[in-house]
Amino acid sequence: MRQTRQSALFAKGRPVKAMNQPTAFLFLQDYFSPLVFQASMDSPSTIAVTLIDPTSGDKIALPGISCTTSLTYEGIFVLIQTIESRLAKSMPGFLARLNLARRQR
């Protein structure tokens, strides 16, 4: 069963201070929507992220992003900044499409 964003944010009514990677990746999936977000460990301390534009089929792989197995909200924020920074450097048009799609929601 897939966790919802609400259940990932709260455990028994209290905010979660840190969460495991799969739960944190739910936040990243939501954040990068409408793109498809995929991530997997590519070493004990890094992840490989793939973002796919479902409308065009374009995809970009971003390997070697530093990531721990347990993330705080601050850690998720840093991860988002890292992904966006790498995306802006390698494929600025991809990031522009993401921002346009977000404005249209």
Report the pLDDT value the prediction gives residue 71, as an integer from 0 to 100.
93
- Say if residues 82 and 66 touch (Cβ distance below 8 Å): yes
- pLDDT one-digit tens code per residue, 22-70: 999 999 999 998 889 999 999 999 999 999 988 889 899 999 999 999 9
Distance CA 34, CA 46 (A): 24
Report the pLDDT value the prediction gives residue 37, as an integer from 0 to 100.
95
pTM for this model (two decimals): 0.77
pLDDT category of residue 105 using cuts at 50, 70 and 90: low
* 2 pLDDT more than 70: no
- Say if residues 62 and 48 touch (Cβ distance below 8 Å): yes
More confident residue, 28 or 16: 28
**Residue 72: helix, strand or coil by DSSP?**
strand
